């Protein structure tokens, strides 16, 4: 059993009288569905929802100013270890 305030009961009754809903259950069900939809939109995407790695990279890259991209070395992909470890790669 659910306890509703008189204002909420009045709102539900108004919605039923408008003809949009057939019952209090219909009004409450739609309200709960709207809450669930809002919650889904408010949550950040999970890694599985984010798309491919290139999609994630492209999305993140949009926030990097062109002046910063200009500082990325042209040979980064070929010499990533040198740039990451400054020539001193550690053993794992």
Domain locations in the chain as residue ranges: 6-42, 53-85
Mean pLDDT estimate for the chain: 86
Q: How many CB atoms lie within 10 A of CB 26?
A: 14
For residues 90 and 43, give the distance between their C-alpha atoms in angstroms, rounded to a whole number.
38
pLDDT at 24 over 90: yes
The predicted model scores a pTM of 0.46
What does the pLDDT look like over 34-77, one tens digit per residue? 999 999 888 776 666 667 888 888 888 888 888 988 988 899 88
pLDDT recorded at residue 21: 95
pLDDT band at residue 83, thresholds of 50, 70 and 90?
confident
């Amino acid at each position: 059993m659910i306890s509703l305030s008189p204002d909420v009961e009045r709102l539900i009754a108004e919605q039923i009288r408008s003809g949009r809903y057939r019952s209090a259950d219909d009004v409450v069900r739609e309200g709960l569905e709207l809450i669930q939809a809002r919650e889904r939109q408010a949550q950040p995407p999970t890694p599985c929802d984010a798309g491919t790695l290139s999609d994630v990279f492209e999305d993140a890259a949009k926030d990097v100013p062109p002046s910063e991209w200009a500082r990325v070395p042209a040979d980064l992909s070929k010499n990533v270890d040198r740039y990451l470890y400054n020539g001193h790669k550690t053993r794992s």
